[in-house]
Amino acid sequence: EAAVTQSPRNKVAVTGGKVTLSCNQTNNHNNMYWYRQDTGHGLRLIHYSYGAGSTEKGDIPDGYKASRPSQENFSLILELATPSQTSVYFCASGDWDRSSGNTLYFGEGSRLIVV
């Protein structure tokens, strides 16, 4: 069964509206991540978290907020959605290993269209 689940899987939002993307993991990993995927850009890191109550900015945090209320849940919040935020968003979980850094396990993605 899927260890990282995202909801909603598909969402159409209006410009200026609020969007919340949710992620739940059953891997018991400390770290969770939000990436967006756009053609030609690969996967770009938006926010990540080391554990409940922590959020950190990634490479492209502008226009996004994150919330980690528990070990299992990590949300990405678009307070004022814009068409440039139309993308596929991936949540991932992982744990740091001394010898090899971090291996990430991804959800199946949330496709967001902002009109």
Partner 1 sequence: GDSVTQKQGQVTLSEDDFLFINCTYSTTTYPTLFWYVQYPGQGPQLLLKVTTANNKGISRGFEATYDKGTTSFHLQKASVQESDSAVYFCALGMSNYNVLYFGSGTKLTVEP
Name the residues that contact partner 1, by CB under 8 A.
4, 31, 33, 35, 40-45, 48, 50, 58, 90, 92, 94, 96, 98-109
**For partner 1, the closer CB: 77 or 104:** 104
Min dist CB 14 to partner 1, Å, is 26
Integer CA distances (angstroms), 19 to 37, 78, 86, in order: 17, 5, 11
Measured distance CA(80)–CA(63) in Å, rounded? 7
Closer to partner 1 by CB, 17 or 51: give it: 51
Amino acid letter, residue 49: S
Least Å from the CB of residue 103 to partner 1:
6
Q: How far is 38 from 36, CA to CA, in rounded Å?
A: 7
